[in-house]
Amino acid sequence: MEDCRIEDGFPTLITVNKNLNSHDWKQRLAIYKAQFKQQLLKRGALVFRDFSIDSTENFSDFIKTMDLGSFVNYIGGDSPRDKVTNEIYTSTEAPPSIYIPPHQELSYLKTYPKYISFYCEIEPQIQGETVIADARKVYQRLDSNVIKHFQEKGLTYISHYYQQSKFMDVINYFANSHKSWVDVFETDKKEEVEAFCQSNEIRWKWLRSNWIEIRHTRPATLEHPITKETVWFNQAHLYDFNPRLLGLVNFLAMKFIYFRRLTRLHEVTFADGSIIPREDLYHILDVLRKNTVSLPWKKGDVMILDNILTMHGRATFKGKRRILTALIS
């Protein structure tokens, strides 16, 4: 492969030996995409560098040329992000002071994207990496008793969303963390929300003031359909608001803001309704931290992850940062 250099690792870094124009990178990507896909299946994470990707359109074309599948939307997801085009979103609009631990995208849904891709439009000035973790290694390094309990019991994710609320508007002005159900489901029609929930095996209940409570019950682990490897595949560690996840100050603020249980954004229990021990969730966060890898972004980088094999998160940052994302299935 004379045109490209592959540095095998996690993530695998793929660079070109010279600057390419739009036509050149498309041609080379088309030639080598089968090899790149094999590497993606092996390592779970690819970063393409110096491919002259300099626009949202280029990013979209890049993903289409890789031919991994079709773009899918973010309906049902509640991370704060902006829709850039019909295919492209910002990766997250969560406050820069918040660290987002690794997770698989939409792993709480029955239908989740098979791949997630990122494009660095504005290179972060200080930190701001999209951190990643190998979900196979995470599974292998978790305590066997924790795995056993999670696999046997399964998980129920509980979320609460509002329709309109001046109080929540004020909260989001400062924290930008709690989406309305209109934003989550990309519709203001209750019947469309209910149809989505029904097709995704989500239980729902309408509450006072047009709030909605939804419950997903999902397994804690998953077998990759091709490699047959078992991976840790859940977001229990993100759905439990605790000092380890949020930091003490943010945790106390959340306790004050969400003093009413039916307004809390997230909760998680075992599928039988029993409480997940806090020490188990802390253990998961510790294992994730020890197995997290970060690669500093460079403007124009494209990262592609197998959304089953590889978890992703975000480091805190200062200054400007704009990372775009696309979901593929």
In whole angstroms, give the CA distance from residue 117 to residue 105.
11
CATH number of the domain bearing residue 284: 3.60.130.10
Query: What pLDDT digit, counting tens, does each position of 222-279 carry?
Result: 999 999 999 999 999 999 988 888 777 777 777 777 766 677 889 999 999 999 999 9
Say if 50 falls within a structural domain.
no
Average pLDDT over residues 95-112: 95
In a domain, 327, yes or no: yes
2 within some domain: no
Task: Tally the domains of the chain.
Answer: 1
Pick the closest to residue 306 from 21, 37, 33 (CA basis).
37
3-state secondary structure the chain: CCCEEEECCCCEEEEECCCCCHHHHHHHHHHHHHHHHHHHHHHCEEEEECCCCCCHHHHHHHHHHHCCCCEECCCCCCCCCCECCCCCEECCCCCCCCCEEEECCCCCCCCCCCEEEEEEEECCCEECCCCEEEHHHHHHHCCHHHHHHHHHHCEEEEEEECCCCHHHHHHHHHHCCCCCHHHHHCCCCHHHHHHHHHHCCEEEEECHHHCEEEEEEECCEEECCCCCCEEECCCHHHHCCCHHHHCHHHHHHHHHHCCCHHHCCEEEEECCCCCCCHHHHHHHHHHHHHCEECCCCCCCCEEEEECCCEEEEECCEECCCEEEEEEEC
Q: Name the one residue in this structure whose structure tokens are 């779970």.
A: 44
Q: Is residue 208 part of a domain?
A: yes
Within a domain: residue 44?
no
Tell me the pLDDT tens digit for each residue of 154-187.
999 999 999 988 878 877 777 777 899 999 999 9
Query: Domain range holding 245?
Result: 71-114+125-295+307-329
**56, part of any domain:** no
Residue 148, in any domain of the structure: yes
State the Cα–Cα distance between residues 305 and 310, nearest whole angstrom.
6
Q: What is the pLDDT of residue 177?
A: 75
pLDDT in tens, 4-14: 889 999 999 99
What is the rounded average pLDDT of the residues 13-29? 77
Handedness of CA 45, 74, 250, 320 (dihedral sign): positive
Question: CB of 24 within 8 A of CB of 17?
Answer: no
Answer yes or no: are the C-beta atoms of 265 and 158 closer than 8 Å: no
* Paired sense of beta strands 12-16 and 45-49, if any: parallel
Say what the pTM is: 0.93
pLDDT of residue 21 exceeding 70, the answer is no
pLDDT of the residue at 1: 66
In tens, the pLDDT along 287-324 reads: 999 999 999 999 999 999 999 999 999 999 999 999 99
In a domain, 209, yes or no: yes
- Contact between 94 and 123 (Cβ < 8 Å): no
Distance CA 11, CA 301 (A): 13
| CA angle, 302 then 60 then 229, to 5° | 55
The pLDDT tens digits for 127-162 are 999 999 999 999 999 999 999 999 999 999 999 999
